[in-house]
Amino acid sequence: MILSNVILGMLAVAPMTGYDLKKRFDTTVAHFWSADKAQIYRTLARLVADDLAVVMTVRQDGLPDRQEHHITDTGRTALAEWLLSAPDPYRERDPFLARVFFSGTLEPDDILALLWARRLAAQSMLDELVSQLGPSVTPVSKNREEYMRSATLRNGISHVRAELEWLEAVEEGLQ
Amino acid sequence: MILSNVILGMLAVAPMTGYDLKKRFDTTVAHFWSADKAQIYRTLARLVADDLAVVMTVRQDGLPDRQEHHITDTGRTALAEWLLSAPDPYRERDPFLARVFFSGTLEPDDILALLWARRLAAQSMLDELVSQLGPSVTPVSKNREEYMRSATLRNGISHVRAELEWLEAVEEGLQ
DNA sequence: TACGTCTAGTGGACAAGTCTACTAGACGTA
DNA sequence: TACGTCTAGTAGACTTGTCCACTAGACGTA
């Protein structure tokens, strides 16, 4: 499962609660993965059952206890194995393309509206990715970990730009 | 559900059996959607239960009976509603980016191997998409339906090209 | 003749992902 | 004072998607 590996990857950086993880999924890794709360907690339970993580309950005053999940040595091994394992198949599922595929029977105006809505979504996604990347001039390979993390953002940006260019070409062809 | 709408879209072109649909999912629409056999048959059953399709059993000699599924008027209405409904959120789940995000702790050679494997996959995907599109010089808007269908292929091609360019840039940055 | 493939479909288990509702104290604001 | 939000987590139903096994006749090939 990919989710459990992503969680292991986060725990490898710092011990976290399910709550902490959920926040990461909604922010720093949102551009390539998402996860429901219930799913996160279930997966954490399985990591513990498989000895890939251990829980430490931390008392806090004024706040609920934290169930801190720490990665184990077995966990780190599993993470490294995943990173080096055979690549996942190059497959995509794109609900938008599904609509486009069958949109040929619609009125031309409706097709344009479909494309226009997509353009808006893509543009706002682009803005968000760019702002997440920050103004940093492609941080040099001084810090390799940060370089790879920001590479995933640049990947998203490249794809959104490709989408916008494609939209323009399709619209033009429709005229 | 998107799958049921994709199936409706196919049935709108011609009546089909689950078997026929499975072949389409493995070929013409494979670049944006896929579906398991069991899933297709289950979904067909639900379309019939919801009066979006009806079954006609066609005897054949020498071959098993065909359970031909025909779209109903209600089905056509549902399909059109879906095509015009609010756009799906722009979200992506990318297992490869998940690896890249956590790959910063690997040895440089292992990172390059990860990127290289991706490049191979992307390149062969590109070849496949290009050959599927055929040599046709972007068919004019004489046939709008065909234009929209081929647009989805061109979308895939744009994205794969963006991926290849990104890979080059990341590799270069790693040197 | 035996095996493999194509046609067409059924059945069941299971994994992954989504959604909604609930507890409960601390804190902030209208 | 009442409501909303943040913190942290639990519980359960449900939908989607994947995998594997099985039936069964027709046809082709080694």
| Residue pointed to by tokens 């949109």 | A103
Q: Which of B2, B146, B159 sits opposite A159 (nearest CB)?
A: B159
Chain B positions in Cβ-Cβ contact with residue A138 (cut-off 8 Å):
173
Confidence at residue A63, expressed as pLDDT on a 0 to 100 scale = 85
Q: Is B39 on the interface with A (CB under 8 A)?
A: no
Strand partners, B123: none
CATH fold group of domain B2-84: Arc Repressor Mutant, subunit A (1.10.10)
Confidence at residue A62, expressed as pLDDT on a 0 to 100 scale = 82
Helix (H, G, I), strand (E, B) or coil at B138: coil
Identify the residues numbered 60 to 99 in chain A whose C-beta atom is closer than 7 Å to any atom of strand D. 60, 63-68, 93
Confidence at residue A91, expressed as pLDDT on a 0 to 100 scale = 83
Confidence at residue B139, expressed as pLDDT on a 0 to 100 scale = 58
Identify the residues numbered 33 to 92 in chain B whose C-beta atom is closer than 7 Å to any atom of strand C. 37-38, 41, 60, 63-68
Nearest CA in chain A to B1: A95
One-letter amino acid identity for B63?
A: L
Contact A55, A67 (CB under 8 A): yes
Q: Taking residues A77-93, what's their average pLDDT?
A: 92
Contacts 24+ apart (CB under 8 A), A161-167: A161/A126, A161/B162, A162/B158, A162/B159, A162/B161, A162/B162, A163/A118, A163/A122, A163/B155, A163/B158, A163/B159, A164/A119, A164/A122, A164/A123, A164/A126, A165/B158, A166/B151, A166/B154, A166/B155, A166/B158, A167/A115, A167/A118, A167/A119, A167/A122
Confidence at residue B175, expressed as pLDDT on a 0 to 100 scale = 83
Measure CA to C1' and name the residue nearest C27: A62
Beta strands (DSSP E) in B59-173 are 66-71
Q: Which residues of chain B have pLDDT under 70?
A: 137-141
> Where residue A140 falls among pLDDT bands split at 50, 70, 90?
low
Confidence at residue A43, expressed as pLDDT on a 0 to 100 scale = 97
Q: Which of A104, A138, A156 sits opposite B173 (nearest CB)?
A: A138
Confidence at residue B63, expressed as pLDDT on a 0 to 100 scale = 85
| Residue pointed to by tokens 């595929």 | A101
The per-residue pLDDT for range A59-82, each reduced to its tens digit, is 888 888 999 999 999 999 999 999
State which nucleotides on strand C lie below 7 Å from a protein beta carbon.
7-13, 15-21, 24-27
Confidence at residue A108, expressed as pLDDT on a 0 to 100 scale = 93
Among residues B78, B49, B57, which one has the least CA distance to residue B15? B57
Say yes or no for a CB contact (<8 Å) between B101 and A152: yes
Chain A positions in Cβ-Cβ contact with residue B71 (cut-off 8 Å):
none
3-state class percentages of chain B: helix first, strand second, coil last, to nearest 5: 65, 5, 25
Question: What is the average pLDDT value for chain A, to the nearest integer?
Answer: 93
Which residue ranges make up each domain of chain B?
2-84, 95-174
The per-residue pLDDT for range A120-136, each reduced to its tens digit, is 999 999 999 999 998 77
Identify the residues numbered 60 to 79 in chain A whose C-beta atom is closer than 7 Å to any atom of strand C. 62-64
Judged by C1' against the alpha carbon of B66, the nearest nucleotide is C8
Please determine, for residue A142, whether its predicted confidence score (pLDDT) is greater than 80.
Answer: no
Other CB atoms within 10 A of residue A41 CB: 16
Q: Which of B104, B105, B151 sits opposite A100 (nearest CB)?
A: B151
Please give the helix or strand (H or E) that residue A53 lies within, else none: strand A53-58
Give me B63's structure tokens.
Answer: 């071959």
The per-residue pLDDT for range A15-56, each reduced to its tens digit, is 999 999 999 999 999 999 999 999 999 999 999 999 999 999
Confidence at residue A50, expressed as pLDDT on a 0 to 100 scale = 95
Nearest CA in chain B to A138: B173
